[in-house]
Each structure stands twice: as C-alpha cells, then as structure tokens.
C-alpha cells in the first residue's frame, strides 16, 4: 500500500480526492492536513510514502512546507495546484525546484464521473513518485550546479533536442541557465507535464533563464538561442525549412507531446547536425528518438542515475545502446559545448 498524506485547505477538494483514491486498492489516505504547518507535523508522525501538497493555504503555504519537509524528512511530494497560467503559477515550479517531484491541477469540484482520465492520471502520478527513494531526494535537493558558461561558437543548421518527464522542470532550468544569450542552436524541448501547466512552466523558465523560452507557434521559423516547447497536448516537429510543425497525430506510448516524435523529425531534417538529450523520467519515451539521431550520425546524451530523480528514460536508452555520453546533470551543458567544438 502507498500511504498518502493529503495537504489541502478545501474540505470539498479533500472529499473528492478521498473518493478518487477509494477506487484504487494500492493507495491508502493516512492523514489530511489543512495547511503547510499541519502537513509538516503529520509527515513527521505518520511518515507517509507520498504527500499531496496544495500551494495557497493559510498559516504556511505549500512552497514553504515543501522546503521544510525536504530538509527535515525528504518525502516524495506531488503538487496539486489551482494556479495554472496566472502570475502566481511560478510558485508551483519553485516548489519543484525545492524538491517536489511533479505538479497537477486540482480536481474540479464537479468531477465528470463518466470521464476517468483525470483520476487515472492522478493515481498514476502518485504511483510513479512513490518509487523515488527519500535518500535520493536528499542528494537531489542539495546538489549544487555551476553558473552560466559563455559560448563563442557559431553553428548554422544545427539543432538541440531535449526530452524529460518526472523531475524534468528543475533539470531543464539547470541546463538552460547555463546557456547564455548567443547560444548558437535552436532548442526543441518536450517535457511531460499536465497540459494546463505548460504556459506556467514556460513563464517560470523565462524568469530564471537568460535565453528566450517560449511556446512554439505552428509555422514559425526556429531561431538560434531560443528554446521551444509545444503547447499542451500537441506533438512538436520541424520541417525542411526549419519551421515549427504542431501536430495532433495520435499519442505515442500514451504521450502527446512525445519525445520520440520530436527527436525523429529533428533527426530526419538535421541528420548528423542534431544533438539529443534525454533527462530524468519514467518509461521509454525518447529511446527511439535517440536511436533515430544516432543512426543519422548525430550525438546523444543522457542524464546519469545519480542525478536523475527517476532513471527510467535514460536507462531505457542506455540499455538500447543508443547513447554516446552518460553524465551528471551539471555536466550536460559542457558536454553540449564539447560536441559543438568537435563538429
């Protein structure tokens, strides 16, 4: 059984969540906290396997509670937030940087009982984050990363592609913060995240990175030193004229956007001038994308086990034999520059 602590100040939301979890025999709600302070106290006493954490609460908010819990008793935390695309949405992503593992929107007060997609996804996320070991969270939370590194390379007709899932937003922030204005490649990124939070994630990254970060627009030509994310629930690709293609083709392995979809298309267009990076996450998405890049003569890099929140996606690619470089998160920007210097 996964022992779950709910931190939420709305009794209506708490009752909806309890109803959802009653439908799954693997999750037991062991406690409910009305604010961050209560969450800390109950976490110390109950030692849950996973904590669901609201952000806006009285007495102590979810961001501060996450900080305290990650320092005192590291526990997998899934953020549930109603802050989506407004100015406060960055608070949820700050909680991810502090040590929370993933973020989802709160359930609607009137769930459509005929549509189980939200409930299934929430249960799936809880089961994923429950697999992260607390000792790993300590290492991840306290890991330090270097500051920006200047780039003095001019590279035309090249592209960098990045895929990530659970634990990805802070990892992406760590990498993009090291790419200063003048970085010579456009960057295509697929991050598995609840679609309503895509714009909020882009806003948060824009606030914390020097390069331009934006939602991709269908038909726009990619530019050097710009990081592009697909809008929620769209595949991201690029055509021969180096213009963005947003697609509603079927999900691949349950994912839309799909890392494989994005990397395969980039490999077809840029061939040996394509670099692929695969970061922390559960599952296999990205393995076939890296395979396509490697077969075209491009370079492939994956995050190592020590710095990955969940090593599933990188490990899948390593096991498939499609990886050129395995390195820690903090070394990935330098490895990209080294690859460009050799080309």
Residues marked as catalytic: 165, 192, 285
Burial, 288: exposed, middle or buried (Cβ in 10 Å; 0-12, 13-18, 19+)? buried
* Tokens describing residue 207: 């606030």
Of 234, 237, 162, 246, residue with least CA distance to 205: 162
C-alpha to C-alpha distance for 211 and 70, rounded to whole angstroms:
30
C-alpha to C-alpha distance for 193 and 248, rounded to whole angstroms:
17
Phi-psi region of 254 (alpha: psi -120 to 50; beta: other; left: phi over 0): left
Name 215's bridge partners: 229
C-alpha to C-alpha distance for 290 and 263, rounded to whole angstroms:
7
Show the 3-state SS of 145-190: CCCCECCCCCCCCCEEEEEECCCHHHHHHHHHCCECCCCCCCEEEE
């Amino acid at each position: 059984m996964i022992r779950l602590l709910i931190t939420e100040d709305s009794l209506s939301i708490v009752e909806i969540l309890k109803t959802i979890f009653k439908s799954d025999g693997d999750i037991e709600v062991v406690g409910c906290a009305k604010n961050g302070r209560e969450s800390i106290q109950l976490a110390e006493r109950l030692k849950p396997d996973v904590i669901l954490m609201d952000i806006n609460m009285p007495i102590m908010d979810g961001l501060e509670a996450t900080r305290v819990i990650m320092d005192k008793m590291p526990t997998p935390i899934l953020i549930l937030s109603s802050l989506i695309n407004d100015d406060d949405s960055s608070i949820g992503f700050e909680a991810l940087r502090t040590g929370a593992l993933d973020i989802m929107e709160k359930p609607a007060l009137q769930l459509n009982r005929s549509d189980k997609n939200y409930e299934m996804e929430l249960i799936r996320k809880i089961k994923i984050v429950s697999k992260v070991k607390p000792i790993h969270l300590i290492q991840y939370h306290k890991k330090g990363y270097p500051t920006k590194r200047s780039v003095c390379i001019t590279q035309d007709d090249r592209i960098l592609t990045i895929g990530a899932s659970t634990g990805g937003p802070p990892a992406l922030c760590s990498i993009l913060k090291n790419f200063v204005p003048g970085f010579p490649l456009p960057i295509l990124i697929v991050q598995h995240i609840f679609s309503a939070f895509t714009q909020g994630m882009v806003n948060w990254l824009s606030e914390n990175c020097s390069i331009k970060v934006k939602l991709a627009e269908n038909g726009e030509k990619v530019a050097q030193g710009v990081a592009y994310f697909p809008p929620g629930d769209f595949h991201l690709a690029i055509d021969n004229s180096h213009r963005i293609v947003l697609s509603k083709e079927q999900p691949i392995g349950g994912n839309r956007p799909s890392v494989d979809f994005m990397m395969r298309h980039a490999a077809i267009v840029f061939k040996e001038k394509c670099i692929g990076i695969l970061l922390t996450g559960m599952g296999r998405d990205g393995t076939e994308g890296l395979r396509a890049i490697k077969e075209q003569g491009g370079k492939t890099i994956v995050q190592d086990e020590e710095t990955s929140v969940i090593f599933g996606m990188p490990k899948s690619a390593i096991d498939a034999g499609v990886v050129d470089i395995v390195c820690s998160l903090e070394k990935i920007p330098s490895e990209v520059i080294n690859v460009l210097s050799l080309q």
